[in-house]
Amino acid sequence: MLQKGNPTRGAFERAVAAAEKAKYCIAFSSGSAATSAIIHLLSPGDNVICVDDVYGGTQRYFRKIVNPCMDITFDFVDFHDETAVRSKLDV
């Protein structure tokens, strides 16, 4: 019999969702896994606003792999600067 899911991770996801008053939560085993999952939800031509002090490996992944291969653009912004963040929003 195949076991679906992981009961410990499921309990963790439900606990985090409850603590955040969210309907769902998805836990990943690493930041790279989470980053990859989110990137694959995007489409060519999409633009991402990313905090400017994101982990260096993530920034390189965005600039050198995702941007040229998937045609997704990135704006790296100081999230402490509300004006800078607002200037990048398509509102």
pLDDT tens for 78-87 read: 999 999 999 9
pTM: 0.78
pLDDT in tens, 47-63: 999 999 999 999 999 99
Place of tokens 């990313």: 50
Residues with Cβ within 8 Å of 1's Cβ and at least 6 positions away in sequence, in order, are: none
